[in-house]
Amino acid sequence: MVEPSSGDERGVGDQPPLLVADRVTKTFLARRGALGRKVEVTAVSQVDLQLDRGETFGLVGETGSGKTTLGRLVLGLEKATSGDVKLNGVPIDRFSRAQLKQMRRRVQVVFQDPYESLNPYMTIEEILEEPFRIHGLYHKTETGERIRELLDLVGLPRSALRQPPGQFSGGQQQRIAIARALSLGAELLVADEPTAALDVSIQAQILNLLMDIQRERGMAMLLISHNLLVVRHMSASLGVMYGGRIVETGHSEDIYRHPKHPYSIALLSAIPVANPRRERERQRVKISGEAPDPAKLPPGCPFHPRCWLAVDRCRTERPELRPVGAPGQQVACHLAQ
């Protein structure tokens, strides 16, 4: 089971958990405004999370919530300003070159837009061979065999090998990107909005594929999405991000059935139900305003300017995650109970 991290890092048995984020913070310096003044942008602030082998943890949030930056920190594409990202108990900052190269095999990513992430001038065969070549693992017959297995795994015909990605639909391109990510036996897949660019009828296909592959190969997945329904379906546990922080975390069903943070409540309420009768009958909680610019986070609780419950304390004192509700559920709200 994935337990939302509470600081103690116990994995399955004696092994450390596959992935741990320990008070991870990332700030950027960005130029803002007409004068181009440098301002500090806190993209991710003091985030803890833990993911065990074979499990899925979902990160939900809107634009600027920090979910993508957190994914990039986990991938080692960004270096944490403070705190540690640990793989198998070792902080990735302290990896040797050899360990880093190994990490690149074991931690892989699938992005939102497959069209942007596949080289249009390469054939599918070349795209799938590339990871083997980069890691010095290319072997003509063995690699060919592996690539055909990968195509079977993601449900593409062998005839695809000779064609460039442009010959394929968005859903098929995403299958190719997934095959590439898994080619060297990834233990952890970071899937950043893997279905957001796809047609409605294709989304379920790709989500099914990710679940099937996970069952077959036992890889862990960090699923990043703006869609709470998708995240809830795919992951046993999730974290709701707002203003760079995880504001609620716990088992997905608990959060879906009984969200405790006002933002989680509002987010769930905002998702329209694809049924006019149910949509009309259900109660909604409406909030005004927009998700905050990470360069201009309000003091106190980042959600307080939009929160209907906010009291003075929320405007000055930043709430920390604390246990509220079901076992394992934690909420960063002074008032939640």
Partner 1 sequence: MTADVRETAEPVLEVRGLRTALHIGGTQLYPVDGVGFELRSGETVAIVGESGSGKSMTALSLMGLLPNRIAKVVGGAALLQGRDLLALNPKAMRELRGVEISYMPQDPVSALNPALTIGRQVMEPLLVHRKASRDEAESRAVELLGNLGIPNLPASLSAYPHQLSGGMRQRVLLAMSLIGRPKVLIADEPTTSVDVTTQEQIIDLLWAIQRETQLGIVLITHDLGVVARIATRVLVMYAGRVVEYGEAEEVFERPMHPYTRGLLQSVDFDEVEPRTRLFALDGNPPQLADLPSGCAFNPRCAHRVQACMEVVPELASVPGSQSLSACLLAAQGLLTPASGGPVTGND
Q: Which residues bind partner 1 (CB under 8 A)?
A: 56, 62-63, 169-172, 199-205, 207-208, 211-212, 226-227, 229-230, 232-236, 252-253, 266-267, 269-279, 284, 286-288, 290-291, 293
Q: CB of 262: closest distance to partner 1 in angstroms?
A: 12
Give Cβ neighbours of residue 38 (< 8 Å, ≥ 6 apart). 29, 30, 31
Q: Which is nearer to partner 1, 116 or 279 (CB)?
A: 279
Contact of 4 with 50, CB cutoff 8 Å: yes
Q: CB of 255: closest distance to partner 1 in angstroms?
A: 12
Q: Which is nearer to partner 1, 5 or 56 (CB)?
A: 56
Pairing of strands 322-323, 90-91: unpaired
Spatial distance between the Cα atoms of 199 and 127, rounded to a whole number of angstroms: 24
Q: Which is nearer to partner 1, 132 or 263 (CB)?
A: 263
Q: For tokens 């920090």, name the residue.
A: 66
Comparing C-alpha atoms, which of 238, 196, 182 is closest to residue 70? 238
Q: CB of 275: closest distance to partner 1 in angstroms?
A: 4
Q: CB of 118: closest distance to partner 1 in angstroms?
A: 17
Contact of 272 with 245, CB cutoff 8 Å: no
Contact of 151 with 143, CB cutoff 8 Å: no
Q: Which is nearer to partner 1, 93 or 279 (CB)?
A: 279
Q: CB of 306: closest distance to partner 1 in angstroms?
A: 8
For residue 72, which amino acid is it?
Answer: R
Q: Which is nearer to partner 1, 22 or 254 (CB)?
A: 254
